[in-house]
Amino acid sequence: MERNELMIIYGDKPLEMTKKICEAAHLADMIPAGASIGLKPNLVVAKHPDTGATTHAEILEGCIQYLQEHGHKNIMIIEGSWVGDSTTRAFKVVGYDRLSRQYNVPLFDTKSDAYEHRSYGGLTMEISKTALNLDFLINMPVLKGHCQTIVTGALKNLKGTLSDREKRHFHSLGLHKPIAYLNKIVRPGFILGDGMCGDLDFEEGGNPVRMNRIFCGLDPVLIDSYICQTMGYEPDEIPYIRIAEDIGVGSTDLAHAVVTELNKDTSRAKPASSRRVAQLARYVDDKDACSACYANLIQACARLDDRGLLGWLKKTPVKIGQGYRGQTGTCPGIGNCTRGFDTHCAGCPPKTPDIIAYLEEYISR
């Protein structure tokens, strides 16, 4: 896999999907024999992944199975929850304690570690010694929103390698610059993103959007740019992504990236499991929409809502889903299934920015 590549797999079976995407990316070949490997999930709080806050245990399980089947046995799960929450409790709540027992993979809490001081650009940081000493780090962020930095993904997930004192220091510095600088020091060898049901706009979860995808790559800036695109933002809207690109961590150039979708999403969208998502879904008429397509539309509706435009769709709800195939209509349609309508946004599934642009144009008529 090259740094300008991204791979995406869709579905609702994260364990199997993880094994397939690791196989397709030839992850095992990137890791030297006998290397110490750290899996770094996002356990910001002790909440179940279905809330949209944390990395699914099934994704770690798929990765561990894959690595062990390829002869890589020296694996640990390493994380430090945010200040005020217990990583040990989080390990239990998300089910990593079972993984640890079943696969003989230790759980390591960076809060209990010794720290080394490392500097970049005049900023000195306290970083977990264990994280720094790993031979190969696999970063496993959740695709989700964040109340301060708008989105969170690969770049920000490395905050879990810091001491609690350093996490507080990062907040006092406004997060963006230190997050970007941290990524010049801690350099994961592989990024495996959990896009199963990340939160719409809050890192602690509560408004999960079922997006049914797992993605991987080598460049954290490119991965975070993909997360931005999926949620309907431009990478330039997120200062730490811009800074990370400027200091050479990676590239935001999605237009020239090689993006491989390993399959099509065939799972059906399910009713919203939170009030905020249900509010957005009131503007949508779904008939058998695929999960990924529906999720992209919900993210687009959230961005239109941010701009005060969503109310314009009250009288003409947006149609989406395979149930509209072969039908005609005057409402806005999303996806190739609605190509018989007077107007529709093409794609299968269409990307979130394309849906936003289409609906903005529709509203402005």
**Applying CB under 6 A, does 349 fall inside the site for ligand SF4?**
yes
**Applying CB under 6 A, does 348 fall inside the site for ligand SF4?**
yes
Quote the CA–CA distance of 285 and 22 in Å, as a whole number: 36
Number of residues that bind ligand SF4 (CB under 6 A): 10
Applying CB under 6 A, among 155, 293, 302, 318 the residue interacting with ligand SF4 is 293
Nearer to ligand SF4, 37 or 197 (CB): 197
3-state DSSP assignment of residue 99: helix
What value, to the nearest 5°, has the Cα angle with vertex 239 and ends 154 and 275? 70
Q: Collect contacts of 94-102 with beta carbons under 8 A, ≥24 apart.
A: 94/41, 94/43, 94/46, 94/47, 94/48, 94/49, 94/54, 94/55, 94/56, 94/57, 95/57, 96/41, 96/43, 96/57, 96/60, 98/57, 99/57, 99/60, 99/61, 99/64
**Shortest distance in whole angstroms from residue 265 CB to ligand SF4:** 6
Applying CB under 6 A, among 321, 332, 333, 353 the residue interacting with ligand SF4 is 321
**Applying CB under 6 A, does 278 fall inside the site for ligand SF4?**
no
DSSP 247-292: TTS----GGGSEEEE-S---PBP---SSHHHHHHHTTEEESS-BHH
Nearer to ligand SF4, 54 or 352 (CB): 352
**Applying CB under 6 A, does 322 fall inside the site for ligand SF4?**
yes
**Applying CB under 6 A, does 337 fall inside the site for ligand SF4?**
yes
Applying CB under 6 A, among 289, 318, 355, 359 the residue interacting with ligand SF4 is 289
Applying CB under 6 A, among 4, 36, 274, 336 the residue interacting with ligand SF4 is 336
**Applying CB under 6 A, does 25 fall inside the site for ligand SF4?**
no
**Shortest distance in whole angstroms from residue 284 CB to ligand SF4:** 12
Residues engaged in binding ligand SF4 (CB under 6 A): 289-290, 293, 321-322, 335-337, 348-349
